[in-house]
Amino acid sequence: MRFGVIVCPQCKQVKSVDLSSKTTKCIRCGKTLQIKKLKIFYETESQEKLRNAIGLLNAELDKK
Ligand SMILES: [Zn+2]
């Protein structure tokens, strides 16, 4: 399985997605997001790397 890290365009929630899905639902605002329309910040097959990438992206967004 291949995972991606996205940011919800509506509420800026950082979220992991399964890249084989077409849509994902934001856990914070409940908006249904079309994965192909989103910017994929990071892609990996490793759940461990995925968690690290989410942590890094959250830290980066907090600075702004
Ligand atoms: Zn959202």
How far does residue 12's CA lie from ligand 1's centre (Å)? 6
Contact indicator for 24, 15 with CB cutoff of 8 Å: yes
The backbone torsions φ and ψ at residue 41, rounded to the nearest 5 degrees and listed phi first, read -80, -30
How far does residue 35's CA lie from ligand 1's centre (Å)? 13
How long a stretch of residues is the chain?
A: 64
pTM summary value: 0.89
What residue type is assigned to position 8 of the chain?
C
pLDDT per residue as tens digits for the range 3-26:
999 999 999 999 999 999 999 999
Q: Is the dihedral of CA 11, 15, 20, 24 positive or negative?
A: negative
Token readout for 53 is: 């990438």
- What is the spatial distance between Cα 3 and Cα 50, in angstroms, rounded to a whole number? 7
How far does residue 46's CA lie from ligand 1's centre (Å)? 24
pLDDT per residue as tens digits for the range 22-60:
999 999 999 999 999 999 999 999 999 999 999 999 999
